[in-house]
Amino acid sequence: MRIEDHPILGKAERGKRITLNVDGEAVAAFEGENIAAALIASGRRVFRYTAKRMEPRGVFCALGRCTDCVMIVDGQPDVRTCVTPARDGMVIQTQVSRREGEATHDLEKEKD
């Protein structure tokens, strides 16, 4: 669900349609909107899991300060998706925050 006609910002000007690869699934987005917006519009809330308690986290401050929305983008961890513009073909992965320096965990293995 995207806001098409904002009472203050007016009609949304969208970039061209692009596709993001999020954990292996294709997610439609508009060029230039930030990654977090595209993910939320696609119905996705959980962007990462915390190191200590494996708790799901996603957008919190939405202005680039709290780093709760960080994901692995094109292989690079700790990318703040709420302030990173989406570009076609980006490969985005859920970040299971590092313990002992390993950026990506197999989610299932972690859960049991």
Query: Whose Cβ is closer to other proteins: residue 41's or residue 66's?
Result: 66
**From the CB of 4, what's the least distance to other proteins, in Å?**
32
Q: Under 8 Å CB-to-CB from 48, ≥6 apart: which residues?
A: 56, 57, 58, 68, 69, 70, 71, 94, 95, 96, 97
Q: List the one residue from 21, 33, 78, 94 that touches other proteins (CB under 8 A).
A: 78
Q: Per-residue x/- mask for other proteins, residues 40 to 59, rule CB under 8 A?
A: ----------xxxx-x-x--
Parallel, antiparallel, or unpaired for β 25-30 and 56-57? unpaired
Alpha helices in the chain (DSSP H): 35-41, 107-111
101 binds other proteins (CB under 8 A): no
111 binds other proteins (CB under 8 A): no
Query: Whose Cβ is closer to other proteins: residue 42's or residue 97's?
Result: 97
Q: Using CA atoms in the order 84, 95, 100, 53, what is the torsion angle rounded to 10 degrees?
A: 120
* Site of interaction with other proteins (CB under 8 A): 50-53, 55, 57, 60-61, 65-68, 70, 76, 78-80
